[in-house]
Amino acid sequence: MSAKKSHLGRGLSALLGGEEATLEPGAQKTVPTEFLHPGKYQPRGHFSSEELEALAQSVRENGILQPILVRPYDKLVGHFEIVAGERRWRAAQLAQLHEVPIIQRSLDDRSTLEIALIENVQREDLSPLDEADGYARLMGEFNYTQETLAERIGKSRPAIANLLRLRSLPDPVRAMIGDGRLSAGHARALIGAADPMALANEIVAKDLNVRQAEALAKKQKTAGTAARKKSSGAAAAKDADTRALEHDLSLKLGLKAEVQFDGKGGRLVLHYTSLDQLDGLIEKLNG
């Protein structure tokens, strides 16, 4: 029989009580709600109060149908750190449940972060930036490569690379992605833009879809390239037109002279290397 590939997505199902799970002795049980604590590797940066209230109502009616995955809490004996299921725990508190079902596992930090990520990704509960930040932590703290992440998480390497690129955007733009004003598709169009904040504001103000945002970003980039070429051409023309003038001024004043022209006006820059040269220039200017 050929060996099966081990994917974390498959392993998560087992950890959360699937038929393949091999639990530790006494691992599945019910504990007081206050004995649980948020995980330090929770990738989610924001919990929607509306979604939590909706989940709390479901908990009031049906209870918690899926146990919360935990590991021992290192700060209090008998307490637990949440690995996966923090939303269920928060909803249980809102529903005023005194006890919650848990599955206890002994997990290292690497596995804890992986499982927390994959649980949220599979449920599509993470914002694109929370997902990107989680991947960055795996790469930074546990030496993962994009290829390793793709294998472990079950996504393509280009998909992971595109998510990671979102982290290069300015904080105000990241905030717009976090609160849902910009989608991941919109955000990708902003990467590499000369002024991503202005572009983001225009996309939101005009309520552009992703294709329109990409067209706007391309138009901005094309305009910027044309402006740079025009500026470069003007500089080259200036050099050709003024080189002789700069040469004459340098000979007459005994200093290196530089003429800078911006299309409307400009500056005359004189370079001196000693105070004697500067004194000589002042004497000439004074006649």
Active site residues: 86
Per-residue buried b or exposed e for 178-208, using 16+ beta carbons within 10 Å of the residue's own CB = beeebbbebbbbbeebeebeebbeebeeeeb
Cα–Cα distances in angstroms (integers) from residue 252 to residues 201, 241, 245, 256, 280, in the given order: 54, 19, 11, 10, 12
How buried is residue 177: exposed, middle or buried, by Cβ count under 10 Å (0-12/13-18/19+)? buried
**Tokens 């006494």 sit at which residue?**
26
Query: Which among 70, 7, 75, 8 has a CA at the least distance from the CA of 33?
Result: 70
